[in-house]
Structure 1
Amino acid sequence: MADHQDNAELLRRWRLILGRYAQPLQGEAWSAQDGRLDASLDYLYGREYERKGMLRGGSAGAGGSLDPSQLRAIDWLNQARKLFPQEVYERVQGHAIERYELSGLLRDPSVLASLEPNQALARALIGMRGRLSANMTDAVRAIIRRVVEEITERLRKDFVNAVTGRRNRFRRSQINSAQNFDWRATIAANLKHYDTASARMVIARPIFNARVRRSLPWDVILCVDQSASMMDSVIYAAVVAGILSGLPAVNVRLVVFDTSVVDLTHLASDPVEVLLTVQLGGGTNIGRAVQYCEQLVVNPQRTVMALISDFEEGAPPGPLLASLKRMAESRVTLLGLAALDERAQPVYDRGMAQRLADQGMHVAALTPQHFAEWLAEVMQ
């Protein structure tokens, strides 16, 4: 009996995955609710058949009370919200906007306000910003702000802990955090509590290092590629600039570029305004941007220049490499942060990355959390 139920559930799932061209299910294996799920999925993912030249006509077994040919995008969105768990709904919503370009969802402020704010939606809004009507501005700003706040909340602690102070092994702290835990001193102080019977050491007094604030300021220049492929990296770079701008003893310069260079330092403390200002798209001239950043260096030995890019240089690389060489020789700390896609997978030109490394740049593909640790290491 159990095997029969398992097989029926497996068939049902495959039927929902394969869609209209799968063999129809009958009886208890296919309920009215399954029909509604199938119709909702077919409204969106049936577009794959259209792309491949297959007709979107009806088919036996599609079932359900929602006719995909009659279902408008906004009605479909409301239905999907009720039909699917929250995690599934957010993924389906992202596919609708990004992959299948149901831009009708983004034309009505009330509909936009009803969408689940997430990074996929923020990417779509930033990319479509120039094509949205004026009455959408407030709704777009509100969604981007909520996404920025969520990312900031997630990253702020990492940057504050990593960048504002290094561990002081000679002063102890009452603040008990895993990052400050001194395991060597703790073992030494608690050896007398070793229990020979159980072969275990009882930690009666854990020891934590204090953290000291740096008094000498660091200049951090964030040089951010805003070409079309850099959407996720631009979002994170804007948030990182906002966090760093609020830290003591860190002076932030924010520069974005494609074939042109724009200095957004005056907006660095407000990631929302940065994202509403950037113009994604166009070519890439990394050399021009790096040469501009070179002019911003005042105290080379206490300057970090972080290039956030996929390193797909569209201009001759000579000026870029020469500028990096000059900065490296003057002891500017050069970091190359390779682009990551939405799944945190590195996407960059490895050949160019090696050429940058040969000029003295430290290149890595890091998540924002690891970027915070990296900054802390070079700013010791």
Structure 2
Amino acid sequence: MSTVSASASASASGSVSDDEAARRWRLVLGRYAADQLSVGPQDDGLERSLRYLYDREYTARGHRVEQGAGLGGSQPHGVDVTALRWLDEAGGLFPRETFERMQVDAVSRYGLTDLLQDDAAVEALEPSRELAVAMMQVRGALNDRAAAGLRRVIQRVVEDIVKRLRTRFTTAVNGRIDRSRRSMHRVARNFDWKRTLRANLGRVDADGRMTVQDVRFSARTRRALTWDVILVVDQSGSMAASLLYSAVCAGILSGLPGINVQLYLFDTSVVDMSHLADDPVTVLMTAQLGGGTDIARAMRHAEQQVRNPSRTVVALVSDFYEGGSVSHLLATVRRMASSGVTMLGLAALDEAAEPVYDQGTARHLAECGMEVAALTPERFAEWLGEVLS
């Protein structure tokens, strides 16, 4: 019952009664504590839901699991409970964060991909980045109906991320602030607080309070020339989360004026996804996670696409664990740097948003002219806006 063990044990160590502590430990330990700890009537649903999912762990290890206490025929009214019934019940019993973790376990650890074959189950799933990543990693084992359900889940996750990121990219990338001109577009992103303060200095009362009557906004300068942004994304098995965000960023950038987006996914070969850059869902459904890593080959391919070095950004998204030739990789980066190409190496982030990458290779890349950083998508937008301004 690993999903609830951390939270339950932490709570049990707090200021709770012995009975409450015993209750929580019973839910953590499951049926193996049945001889010593009983399940109260109020926890019957929790117990059934947990057993339905996590008894699969014991079965996979060769343990025999007694029938009758899970979500099977022992349910009231003799109803045979399917994965959908489990999903409905668990969603109402557990806090959202716990339920999201259980969904991920159901798909990635216990193979409950039949959830994706039921329209109602797909709608009941709580969309999250973690769930989308887990589903992407099992996509190859899905039949057509389950794959269609997966696409709908990924679509919802992508829409949520786009909603959060689009404004950040638009603000950062779509033209720099021109403080020499006043803007008629009175929106927050154009607010010029310095000029507003100066314009209202004569309206400060004896207590130091300013009455603001003249609010100033700055215009934004549009780029006159097009930039090429080449995204080179590692699709090895450990890169699922980074691939998700990279596809979304490519989709947002494709909709901005003055930017030509090229998108390449790679493992030991390179796949041109540029024609799908504006469709992150299709990119994610097409990507083949897993395999080796040949960064040198991918960067050499990116180098061959450069038309105007001084107006080209190459963003490499990888954990920098090179399976190809490091010397060839570094030579390619040196050539692009000397030609004027701007390069950024985006290090992979783990589930806790901590960078996980080969620091030795990253250091060598930085020495050759590539800026290397572990950035969230929001910070990547800001970095790109600074480069393109």
Pairwise TM-score range, normalised by the shorter structure: 0.7 to 0.9
**Unaligned 5+ runs, structure 2:** 1-13
Q: Which of 138, 144, 149 matches 1:134?
A: 144
1:46-65 correspondence runs (5 A): 46-47=55-56, 56=65
RMSD of equivalent CA atoms: 3.0
Question: How far is the alpha carbon of 1:32 from its aligned partner?
Answer: 1.8
Partner residue, 2:42: 33
Does the residue aligned with 1:231 lie in a helix, a strand or coil?
Answer: helix
Q: Which of 161, 167, 172 matches 1:151?
A: 161
1:48-127 correspondence runs (5 A): 56=65, 73-106=83-116, 108=118, 111-127=121-137
**What TM-score, normalized to structure 2?**
0.85
Cα gap change, 1:186 to 1:8, in 2 (>3 Å): farther
Partner residue, 1:244: 253
C-alpha distance in 2 between matches for 1:22 and 1:178: 58
C-alpha distance in 2 between matches for 1:180 and 1:357: 35
1:315-330 correspondence runs (5 A): 315-330=324-339
Relative to structure 2, which stretch is displaced further, 164-173 or 82-91?
82-91
Partner residue, 2:200: 190
Partner residue, 1:302: 311
Does the residue aligned with 1:196 lie in a helix, a strand or coil?
Answer: coil
Write the letter of the residue equivalent to 1:243: I
1:12 paired with 2:23, answer yes
Write the letter of the residue equivalent to 2:30: G
C-alpha distance in 2 between matches for 1:59 and 1:76: 15
Relative to structure 2, which stretch is displaced further, 320-329 or 3-12?
3-12
Partner residue, 2:176: 166
Partner residue, 1:333: 342
Relative to structure 2, which stretch is displaced further, 314-323 or 12-21?
12-21
Per-residue CA deviation, residues 165-202 of structure 1 (Å, 9 max, x unaligned), is: 111111123444444332322222222222333x3333
1:276 paired with 2:292, answer no
Does the residue aligned with 2:354 lie in a helix, a strand or coil?
Answer: coil
Question: How far is the alpha carbon of 1:66 from its aligned partner?
Answer: 5.3
Partner residue, 1:207: 216
Per-residue CA deviation, residues 205-257 of structure 1 (Å, 9 max, x unaligned), is: 33232212111110000000010100011111111111111111000011110
Does the residue aligned with 1:101 lie in a helix, a strand or coil?
Answer: coil
C-alpha distance in 1 between matches for 2:357 and 2:298: 18
Question: How far is the alpha carbon of 1:111 from its aligned partner?
Answer: 3.9
Question: How far is the alpha carbon of 1:336 from its aligned partner?
Answer: 0.6
C-alpha distance in 2 between matches for 1:219 and 1:361: 17
Cα gap change, 1:301 to 1:312, in 2 (>3 Å): same
Relative to structure 2, which stretch is displaced further, 339-348 or 290-299?
339-348
Relative to structure 2, which stretch is displaced further, 329-338 or 105-114?
105-114
Relative to structure 2, which stretch is displaced further, 105-114 or 250-259?
105-114
C-alpha distance in 2 between matches for 1:81 and 1:18: 21
Question: How far is the alpha carbon of 1:275 from its aligned partner?
Answer: 1.1
Cα gap change, 1:110 to 1:289, in 2 (>3 Å): same
Give the % identical residues: 53
Cα gap change, 1:5 to 1:240, in 2 (>3 Å): closer
Question: How far is the alpha carbon of 1:10 from its aligned partner?
Answer: 4.7
1:255 paired with 2:228, answer no
Question: How far is the alpha carbon of 1:54 from its aligned partner?
Answer: 6.8
Question: How far is the alpha carbon of 1:143 from its aligned partner?
Answer: 2.2
Per-residue CA deviation, residues 301-327 of structure 1 (Å, 9 max, x unaligned), is: 010000011111011201110000000
Does the residue aligned with 1:201 lie in a helix, a strand or coil?
Answer: coil
C-alpha distance in 1 between matches for 2:56 and 2:147: 30
Relative to structure 2, which stretch is displaced further, 12-21 or 36-45?
12-21
Does the residue aligned with 2:138 lie in a helix, a strand or coil?
Answer: helix
1:280-291 correspondence runs (5 A): 280-291=289-300
Relative to structure 2, which stretch is displaced further, 38-47 or 5-14?
5-14
**What TM-score, normalized to structure 1?**
0.87
Write the letter of the residue equivalent to 2:104: G
C-alpha distance in 2 between matches for 1:94 and 1:26: 28
C-alpha distance in 2 between matches for 1:94 and 1:289: 31
Does the residue aligned with 1:291 lie in a helix, a strand or coil?
Answer: helix
Relative to structure 2, which stretch is displaced further, 260-269 or 200-209?
200-209
Question: How far is the alpha carbon of 1:297 from its aligned partner?
Answer: 0.4
Cα gap change, 1:37 to 1:290, in 2 (>3 Å): same
Contact map agreement 2:116 2:147 (CA 8 A) in 1 = no
Question: How far is the alpha carbon of 1:50 from its aligned partner?
Answer: 6.0
C-alpha distance in 2 between matches for 1:138 and 1:41: 28
Q: Which of 35, 41, 52 matches 1:43?
A: 52
Per-residue CA deviation, residues 328-356 of structure 1 (Å, 9 max, x unaligned), is: 00110001111112332211111111111
Question: How far is the alpha carbon of 1:49 from its aligned partner?
Answer: 5.5
Question: How far is the alpha carbon of 1:72 from its aligned partner?
Answer: 5.2
**Unaligned 5+ runs, structure 1:** none
Question: How far is the alpha carbon of 1:4 from its aligned partner?
Answer: 10
What is the aligned residue count?
369
C-alpha distance in 2 between matches for 1:186 and 1:8: 62
Cα gap change, 1:190 to 1:276, in 2 (>3 Å): same
